[in-house]
Amino acid sequence: MTQPNRRRFIMMWEQIITPFENQYLSAFVASIPISFLFFTLYSRVRIHIAGFLTLLVTTGVAIFVYGMPFKLAAWSSFYGGMTGMFSIGWIMLSSLFLYKLTVKTGQIHIITWSIQSITRDHRLQCLLVALCLGAFLENLAGYSTSVAITSGILVALGFRPIYAAVLCLITSISFGFMGVPIITAGLTSDIDMMAVSQMVGRQLPILSFLLPFWLVFILAGWKGTKEVWLPILVCGISFAGVQWFAANYIFLSIVNTLAAVTTMIIMVFFLRNWQPKDVWHSQKTSSFYPNEKISFSTVLSAWLPYIIMTIFIINWSFKPVQDFLNTFTVYVAVSTLNNTIIASGKPIEVYLSLSLLSSVGTVIFISAIINAYIYKVCHKELITLLGQAVRNLFLPLVGISLIIGVSYLMNWSGMIASMANVIASANGLLPMFAPILGWLGVFITGSDVSSNTLMAKLQANTAQIVGFDPVLTVAANHSGGAVAKMISPEAIGAAASATGLNGREDDIFSYTLTHSLFFLSFLCFLTYLQAYTFKWLIPSYHKVLGITAEMVNYKIEGYKLMILMLGLVLVLALFSSKLKGKDNKQNEHTNRVKTL
């Protein structure tokens, strides 16, 4: 006798935004997990322990205060943790693997020498590497890739690891990966994305102008800053000026790229004619500074992994290529969570996206493999380096994944909405609180894209109700999130792994928190002034619905662009390998002559 089919019933649960009758009390209880996480990290608790304890606290609040079923709470945090492990973890692992490979092959010495040939002063090297190179990589790669690479280079230049990590984290203030966060904010809030870019371009460049002074002051104090005030001023004016111009009159996707490249070129020419009287070092100089001149081909070979990575990333960012690569993406509906949590009257769709090919981490990993081919690194050494990277990142990644699980649980249980409602009820003070929402969103989710997706519509709607221009609050949401990148657990984990400070993420957080809060306070005050005193700074625009034509008007097929890119990279790799062989023969000949 056959058993009758038993129908599987899926549990449905609707978010409760105000578990208490008082919305302020509800928001206070909702903020307990964030406060606890801040407290544990600031108290120098290891990131994986802090993440685990915070997850326990968050789960307790979600179940006993917000009434979320235990099964949904557990799956929400697990899903968030796995998302962080596979997306952010892959990028961090690839970045560290590439850096370890450059150290193994000795390329890092050539890279540091090429920077030292411009200036041997650590204050100015900080501006070239942390600010210019960091902004360039952040625009092209995002996801804390710039922090991982630039902080490792600074350590190789002789910077103290803690300073290298902190300086590179502070310079992570940007428009985001290819302007995607601002594009997301515009689409989510139904505001022209160029208007959002223009408004952000009238906020962040002010911080960018102050940033070179801030970095050098952290590194060398007031006396050391006064000694190099002229190149600091040149750097600040160049970076902020180009950033403002590009954000307002060109296109938001290449704002930081243009600012970084222009400033780097200007600084190189400036430093050829001006150097400080006394060379200043934070700790020690690099151990590699050859007396003989190194050939251009050697320098090119050393920088080639990052040049190839840049070419890959630019190609990967084109929409046709993304569309082509996304055809290989597998979307798996998480049955336990999919359409079971109701938020704002609509069920939340939950899919597990397995998109390894389109990930930035894959781009970096391929660049590392090409670099290994050029320098003839054997498979055994590659596996050893990869194993070292995995061991170095294991505990930090566990901690980061736990914290991302906390962010998903807070979002899907309704805690984020509880806090957002209170901030949105500030009425006349709303512009001052708008950056705080973005700051909280990035700290919790680790992503300015996620923060803008979560908060932009709320910011726009609330501004219209209160009577403010919504583009101001939407832009402030992104700007506030930008200054939270320096305390994001993902970015801190990337900096710690690149500088050999694994297990000291709490120390880095303690250093960067003060700076993040200062920049946030400055943005709150600036947004308030722009809302009341400097209204003329708010751009005029038209509301739009849907995706603009410039985002979808592509005619070149994705696979053709990929073939062109692969051909260019192959030519570069073969050319560099040939030059490397000539350099080796020349060095052998020189050594034989010296011996004779």
Q: What angle do CA 445, 530, 428 make, to 5 degrees?
A: 75
What is the pLDDT, as a whole number, of residue 230? 93
Residue 590 CA to residue 464 CA, distance in Å, equals: 73
**pLDDT at residue 89 is higher than 50:** yes
Cα dihedral: 368, 374, 375, 381 (round 10):
50
If pLDDT is split at 50, 70 and 90, which confidence band does 531 have? confident
The runs of H, that is alpha helices, within 535-557 are 549-552
What is the pLDDT, as a whole number, of residue 582? 54
What is the pLDDT, as a whole number, of residue 19? 87
Residue 283 CA to residue 562 CA, distance in Å, equals: 44
Instruction: Over range 317-329, report the average pLDDT.
Output: 71
What is the pLDDT, as a whole number, of residue 525? 92
Q: Identity (one letter) of the amino acid at 74?
A: A
Q: Please name the residues in contact with 207: beta carbons below 8 A apart, sequence gap of 6 or more.
A: 173, 483, 519, 522, 523
Per residue in 405-453, pLDDT (tens digit) is: 887 788 788 887 787 777 667 677 778 888 888 888 777 666 676 667 6
Per residue in 230-279, pLDDT (tens digit) is: 999 999 999 999 888 888 887 666 677 788 888 888 988 888 888 888 88
> Which of 140-144, 186-190, 397-401, 486-490 has the lowest average pLDDT?
140-144
Cα dihedral: 537, 538, 542, 547 (round 10):
100
What is the pLDDT, as a whole number, of residue 475? 86
Percent of the chain residues past pLDDT 90, beyond the cut? 5
If pLDDT is split at 50, 70 and 90, which confidence band does 285 have? low
Q: What angle do CA 80, 81, 84 make, to 5 degrees?
A: 85
> Which of 33-37, 372-376, 585-589 has the lowest average pLDDT?
585-589
Per residue in 296-313, pLDDT (tens digit) is: 667 777 777 777 777 776
Instruction: Over range 380-385, report the average pLDDT.
Output: 86
What is the pLDDT, as a whole number, of residue 546? 37
What is the pLDDT, as a whole number, of residue 578? 59
- Contact assessment for residue 322 and residue 316, using Cβ atoms and an 8 Å cutoff: yes
Q: What angle do CA 141, 147, 151 make, to 5 degrees?
A: 135
| Residue 536 DSSP symbol | G
What is the pLDDT, as a whole number, of residue 44? 66
Percent of the chain residues past pLDDT 70, beyond the cut? 74
Collapsing DSSP states into helix, strand and coil, what is residue 329?
Answer: coil
Instruction: Over range 58-81, report the average pLDDT.
Output: 88
